[in-house]
Amino acid sequence: MSQAHQSRKNLKIQAFAVAVGFVLLVVKFAAWIITGSNAILSDALESVINVLAGLVALFSIYYASRPRDSDHLYGHGKMEFISSGFEGALILGAGLTIIGKAVYNLIFPHEVEALGTGIILTAVAGLVNFLLAWMLIRQGRASHSPAMEADGKHLLSDGYSTLGMIVGLFLIWFTGKVWLDNVVALLFGFLLIRMGYKVLRSAVAGIMDETDRDLVERFITVLRQHRKDDWIDIHNFRIIKFGGQLHVDCHMTLPWYYTVEEGHRVVDEIEQLVNTELDRKVELFIHVDPCLETSCSICTKSDCEVRKHPFIKRLDWTADEVLNNQRHGSLKYE
């Protein structure tokens, strides 16, 4: 599937999720008006966040799909991390609001009515949230869209929270202890704060280009599995995420006598390999280093006519080694 077609599909799915989210918002507020329950209000306020976050995610997916231009030479994919950060801030705000309202009503109690109807409406909305979350997470992972996957995880957490809230409402219904409504709301508020922090933390990591160890391991595993004898060493390895696209910088040590054409052939071979094996768009910038005399001890190229020293041991590429900004041959054997 082409990148343009994938972007259009993501936009349609995200727009559908926003539309359904708006309907759920209306249902939850109706349940709150009927019951007067703070716990249901907290769930309804979370739906407001869902719709706002969904709209921001929709815009970010559209913006991130735009082609590169002279002002954005790496593309517009970082917008998806900004969207995730905005969503995390909204979730934190909703959690604080819910906690404040629950504390107020613990001091100044209020009546809760028609809980049966409220439970039914909230349960239906929660089930729909689970289905939406599954759809968004699945599509977000398949298309490597941080904004869509974050929105799906948000909805999934909302679904689990709704499930816990329904259990709490049943306890209120059976026991008649109205103060339990505010306790459930408090627990839900703290859960939202925790969730908002995690979403915000992940977004900041993407914006700050924090090393994704799992992604580095996947990338290096592909290179290890297809490693050629003349790929002597790889180091100073960096991956930058731009939405669903990856930009990779690294240094690779090749035989010193290779021509520019031969070095370019190796770079093209690696770029084609990772774009096929990782099933996503990878832009690769490889700086080619010539091998040193000390590199002979780790070089497995058997047909080398200028070898100075016998082969001792081939280095196994690991995340810690390739992230290091030193040639491994020089580091270990000089």
**131 and 40 co-located in one domain:** yes
Q: What CA–CA distance (Å, rounded) separates 113 from 251?
A: 67
**233 and 184 co-located in one domain:** no
- The CATH number assigned to the domain holding 90 equals 1.20.1510.10
Is the CB of residue 96 less than 8 Å from the CB of residue 193?
A: yes
Domain extent at residue 281: 213-333
Q: What is the pLDDT of residue 258?
A: 93
Q: What is the pLDDT of residue 39?
A: 67
Q: Which residue type is seen at 124?
A: V
Q: What is the pLDDT of residue 21?
A: 86
The total number of structural domains in the chain stands at: 2
Give the Å distances, CA to CA, from 26 to 32, 47, 87, 101, 147: 10, 9, 20, 20, 24
- pLDDT bin (cut points 50, 70, 90) of residue 111 is low
Which of residues 183, 207, 231 is at a domain's end? 207
Q: What is the pTM of this model?
A: 0.68
DSSP, residue by residue, 32-61: HHHH--HHHHHHHHHHHHHHHHHHHHHHHH
**185 and 58 co-located in one domain:** yes
Q: What CA–CA distance (Å, rounded) separates 43 from 36?
A: 12
- pLDDT bin (cut points 50, 70, 90) of residue 254 is very high
Closest CA to 3 of 215, 279, 268, 284: 279
Which of residues 181, 207, 233 is at a domain's end? 207
**196 and 218 co-located in one domain:** no
**50 and 148 co-located in one domain:** yes
Long-range contacts for 57-62 (Cβ within 8 Å, ≥24 apart)? Answer: 57/14, 57/83, 57/87, 57/147, 57/148, 57/150, 57/151, 58/11, 58/14, 58/15, 58/18, 59/83, 60/147, 61/7, 61/10, 61/11, 61/14, 61/145, 61/147, 61/148, 62/7, 62/11
**119 and 9 co-located in one domain:** yes
**39 and 74 co-located in one domain:** yes
Lowest-pLDDT range, 55-64, 68-77, 182-191? 68-77
pLDDT for 8-28, tens place per residue? 788 888 888 889 888 888 888
pLDDT for 163-209, tens place per residue? 767 777 777 777 777 777 678 778 877 887 887 888 888 888 888 87
Is the CB of residue 148 less than 8 Å from the CB of residue 14?
A: yes
Among 115-124, 180-189, 257-266, 317-326, which range has the highest average pLDDT? 257-266
The dihedrals phi and psi of 282, each to the nearest 5 degrees, come to -125, 125
Q: Over range 69-85, report the average pLDDT.
A: 77
